[in-house]
Amino acid sequence: MRDSLENAGVKTGPVENVADSSGVALINTDAKGENAITVMAGANGHLSPVDIDANVELLRRAGIVLTQLEIPMDTIGHLANFTRQEGIPLMLDPAPAKPLSSALLSCVDWLTPNETETCVLLGRAERNLSQSELEDAATSLLQRGCKNVILKLGARGCYLALADGTRRGSSSAQGNRRRYDRCRRCLQWSVRSSYLSGENAVNSAEWACAVAALS
């Protein structure tokens, strides 16, 4: 795996080996493109606050930090506090879905849940959200403390709720529901890349949906 990352141009210097398997996410997808993901943390479960502290100089050079919930929660909390103290934007993909404290969410600059994760975060029954429910859910997440929200909606694109009051949907990922998980990852990385290039959030999200539609 390390060789594969290095061949792709990823710098693996800070990556350490542990006596465990690599993390695995098994993705089961039905005919409509809906999926269920089973996560086995493996080596990811060994990432600790000590590892964060050992790499603070590397993290301080980051334009934005992206993390998920596939590492221990105390490590995520430690990372979130560090990025807030250092003024580094934090993007959190709250997967696998689980409730999160307002203290953690208040450290998040960009929260990027799908509909299931949104419902779990808000303690609501899991379902596809209508347009009015999207705005209400996104606003509720902002009230929990995060600065900006991008709700990922599969083939329906995404819905933005920003700190400046912007509320806007983008549906350019239409027609790619069967490849939803790939679109989800592509959209998130595309938003990050576009944002770091200086684009505003709306343009970043629209470009990311277009890229995800081609993934």
Q: Who contacts 21 (Cβ-Cβ below 8 Å, separation ≥6)?
A: 40, 42, 43
pLDDT score recorded for residue 176: 46
- Judged on CB neighbours under 10 Å (0-12, 13-18, 19+), 190 is buried
Place of tokens 């990372």: 79
What are the counts of helices (DSSP H) followed by strands (DSSP E) for the chain? 9, 8
Q: What is the pTM of this model?
A: 0.84
Most confident of 57-66, 150-159, 167-176, 185-194: 57-66
Looking at the chain, the whole-number percentage of residues with pLDDT higher than 90 is: 47
pLDDT tens string 95-123: 889 999 999 999 999 999 999 999 999 99
Whether the predicted pLDDT of 208 surpasses 80 = no
Determine what percent of the chain is predicted with pLDDT higher than 70: 82
Instruction: Centre a 10 Å sphere on the Cβ of residue 79 and count the other Cβ atoms it contains.
Output: 22
Judged against a pLDDT cut of 80, whether residue 203 lies above it is answered with no
Beta-bridge partner residues of 169: 159
The mean pLDDT of 194-212, rounded to a whole number, is 72
- Give the integer Cα–Cα distance in Å for 97 and 118: 8
Strands (E), the chain: 24-29, 35-40, 65-68, 90-93, 110-111, 148-152, 158-161, 167-170
What pLDDT score does 187 carry?
64
